[in-house]
Amino acid sequence: MTDLELFKAAKKAMHFAYAPYSNFRVGAALLTKDGKVYTGANVENSSFGATVCAERTAFVKAISEGHCEFDTIAVAASSGEAFPCGICRQFIFEFGDHIRVVVGSDEESIKSYKIDELLPHGFRL
């Protein structure tokens, strides 16, 4: 799957976001090492700390289905670029410093970074 195809899947997932407080919709599409794609959308909560980001939603779906080896995650937002937040960066890093993160404000502007570029010196036990 190309970065563009994965980004388009993230944009599609964005439409399922529950974002009544910020109205900032985010979608993610996570590619496993064996080629399966899991999507996620952000789910807000009136207790803001209980909000779940799109990236973690996609990871949790994949992990709960038995996948723990990942290649790339694409993130799309309702406006502008949406890089993973700090918690999501650490969550992604947990599964490998090689995972690529694809972001962009539209299909013509997508860029790719390795997670260790976005989170240098990530935490490991």
Q: Which residues, 6 or more positions from 102, have their beta carbon under 8 angstroms from its beta carbon?
A: 3, 6, 7, 10, 72, 73, 74, 75, 110, 111, 112
Phi, psi at 2, each rounded to 5°:
-80, 165
- The yes-or-no answer on residue 81 being catalytic is no
Catalytic residue among 5, 44, 55, 107: 55
Catalytic positions, please? Answer: 55
